[in-house]
Amino acid sequence: MPDSAGIQERLALIKRLSSLPPTQFDQLLFALKPPEGLVPPATAKPGDRVSALLEWAEGSTGRGLEEMKQVLEALLPENLSYELPPVKPADNEKLDYGLPPDKPAATRKDTSEKRLIDAVWTEVEDRLRQSLQNAILIRLDMAEQRSQVSRPWDSQLRTADLKPQPLEPGAHIADVFDRRDVGSKLLILGAPGAGKTTTMLDLAAVLIQRANDQPEHPIPVMFNLSSWQSAKQSITDWLLRELKLKYGVSQKLGQTWLEEKTLLPLLDGLDELPPGRQAPVVQAVNTWLQSGEGPTRLLVCSRIEEYELYPEKLELNGAICLEPLTDTQLQAYLNSLKMGDLWDGLQLDEDLLELVRTPLLLSVSILANEVIDPAQWRQKQTATERMTYLLDAYVERRLHEGVKSRAYPPGKQPTAQQTRRWLVWLAKQLKTQSKDEFLIETMQPDMLATRKQRWLYEMNSGLIGGLIGGLIFGLIFGLISGLNNGLIVGLIAGLIVGLIFGLIGGRSSIDTVESFDFSFSSKSRKEFFKELRNKLISGLIVGLIAGLIAGLIVGLIVGLIAGLIVGLIVGLIVGLIVGLIYGLIVGLIVGLIVGLKTDIATRVEPNQGIWASLNNMGIPLAIAIVFVVIIRPVLLLLLANILNAEVIALIADIFFLLLFVISIASGAACVQHFALRVVLHRAKVIPWNYARFLNYCTERLLLQRVGGRYRFIHKLVQEHFAAMPLGRE
């Protein structure tokens, strides 16, 4: 029997061959020259052609797999690793699975819509590539179950029409979704691990290409219903919140898109809600659809066992249920992997055979086959115990198998025990928060388990914030009153303010400041600067008007106060000068904020929110430094003959302090986040370099990564880790 590495290599080869367009597959046949008529023609199914070619290559008259790989590499040079980029199709050809490797230019003019399409395209591509179930190159059979949805015209149908009706083998989910009677409102049902999410991703791959090519087509967006927290929250409000959290869409823009039906929601995980919230969310979705606020197209996924218990059915137009893999499909697939002995063993164990009829558990059993003990397996009495044993075997195999890591250098990888503990903690946090995705920057103080940890976090927040704030304040204050004294005064003041901040602000949630957009990731530099120029012009106009008005008001007040000393007329002149200068500065700040603010900020890197907050801290700080170094001395020079120097300095210093406070407030999230990470690391529940560890777990096929977001390879794997004891490192 081939080892795990050999199985993965063979899976990669089969996946590569199956994804070849007919023209490229024929090029390979021409180079290998198998006997004429042995391999079916291009009109046959790709799987049949691949099976025939492999059978010949490994036979006595064939040229062997190694030579076939060499020929394939020479014709189409690409990496043949387990995670393959898809092959570029020939002109006018489309792949049956996934997306083309090169995304065509979007036909839309709206920049925010383009960004959302880019984000969803990347998400679909990455999740399909990293999916365990997508490695099983079998299109699942589907049966239509109209009885699982509530349609207005169902009362006019005969009862026989509501019985499950098998669909044509090999039917694509997009064909069902597009049917006139379904009207793009569909429910997908299936057993755990049956492929519901992968089927949804298959549909999303088709829909995002349409949205990219057709400006009028709605943009698919994928959400997990497990994050719906309260029956008092409308689906519209929930979607607006999820759009902000997942895709960085502002509430105003999200509201506009929902009203204009610009979005096509794909909702997964209905069954992952706590039992008490599952039936209410069905009612909420129905209310949403009836109100007219809902979309014209919608997809929902759920486990069938839970869904059948709901008193109310979803008001969609169609429902399909994913069928278990058949004996023929299982045997053909395992034989293609040269694992006929595994098929022979499955036939002798009816319970195991039934369990692996889902793509997920078939993948798990293949990858964990070497560590599955048949004797221990047979001792398990229930289906839950057998599934737990199978997932245990998979986890053990992934934890201990040698992986050539890009995240860690040789000898620096975490131990299997550390990896397990850190993943168990993460799974428990996701379960507590009813989430299926994790972003490093969304870590919050409520993750701390004990009073001691919370106290340490608050004190660390204060000390770190005080030291950083004190140093910055001391350096700038030193420019005003002398470097030595300024540093001492600044450090003392900063530490005091920092400790107060830590004890008060440390109890609040961590809110990142991501108002500005300096990213070139979704556009060229030329497009970026053109967009920035237009925003800055409008922002500066608004900012200057607002700043001048505010400056004049403040100037008049300052002038009246100064007038008591130097006379009303002179005081008003001084006030207007000060007000205009301050107004221009305020206008510049407002202009920068408006100009650089983005309506949609997708996360493409781990911990992007914290780094953005750190960057955004620098804008008011830079203005404060310029103010101290240039504007403050100019004010002293211009007004030296009118006002006392101490009065001018006091006015200037008050404004400087305002800018400084704005800057520190922007950096507060960074301080809190760092302090939280320190405490959690000391508690040995997270590693120091969290992003590197999470990337390492994606290499081990335990997690998936999309941009800066991470999720477990499957919900069943997440639930399995969450059920484990935390243990000790």
Please give the full DSSP string across 441-456, using - where no structure is assigned: GG--GGG--SHHHHHH
Q: What pLDDT, on a 0 to 100 scale, did the predictor assign at position 701? A: 87
Residue 651's identity, in one-letter code, is I
On whether the CB atoms of residues 380 and 649 are closer than 8 A, the answer is: no
Residue 187's identity, in one-letter code, is L
Q: What pLDDT, on a 0 to 100 scale, did the predictor assign at position 489? A: 56
Three-state DSSP state, 234: coil
| 539, two tokens | 């922002």
- Please, which residues have CB within 8 angstroms of residue 666's CB and are 6 or more apart in sequence? 513, 613, 616, 617, 620
Q: What pLDDT, on a 0 to 100 scale, did the predictor assign at position 429? A: 94
Distance, in Å, from the CA atom of 202 to the CA atom of 200, rounded to the nearest integer, reads 5
Distance, in Å, from the CA atom of 151 to the CA atom of 85, rounded to the nearest integer, reads 41
- Radius of gyration (Cα) for the chain, nearest Å? 31
**Rounded alpha-carbon distances, angstroms, from residue 527 to 111, 538, 594:** 10, 17, 18
Strand ranges across the sheet with 438-439? 438-439, 709-712, 703-706
Q: What pLDDT, on a 0 to 100 scale, did the predictor assign at position 379? A: 84
Q: What pLDDT, on a 0 to 100 scale, did the predictor assign at position 724? A: 94
Distance, in Å, from the CA atom of 452 to the CA atom of 440, rounded to the nearest integer, reads 23
Q: What pLDDT, on a 0 to 100 scale, did the predictor assign at position 257? A: 95
Distance, in Å, from the CA atom of 575 to the CA atom of 567, rounded to the nearest integer, reads 12
CATH 3.40.50 residue window(s) in the chain: 111-322
What are the per-10-residue average pLDDT scores of the chain (729 residues)? 60 74 70 78 70 81 78 58 34 52 85 91 87 59 75 39 70 90 92 89 94 94 88 89 88 92 94 85 92 91 90 91 87 78 81 85 83 81 86 90 83 92 95 88 87 83 61 55 51 56 54 48 51 57 57 58 52 56 54 52 59 61 64 65 58 58 63 85 92 91 86 91 84
Q: What pLDDT, on a 0 to 100 scale, did the predictor assign at position 340? A: 78
Distance, in Å, from the CA atom of 262 to the CA atom of 123, rounded to the nearest integer, reads 19
**Fold for the domain defined by 111-322:** Rossmann fold (3.40.50)
Q: What pLDDT, on a 0 to 100 scale, did the predictor assign at position 536? A: 54
Residue listed under structure tokens 């519901």: 196
On whether the CB atoms of residues 288 and 231 are closer than 8 A, the answer is: no
Looking at the whole model, is its pTM more than 0.85?
Answer: no
Q: How many CA within 13 A on the CB side of residue 454?
A: 14
Q: What pLDDT, on a 0 to 100 scale, did the predictor assign at position 458? A: 78
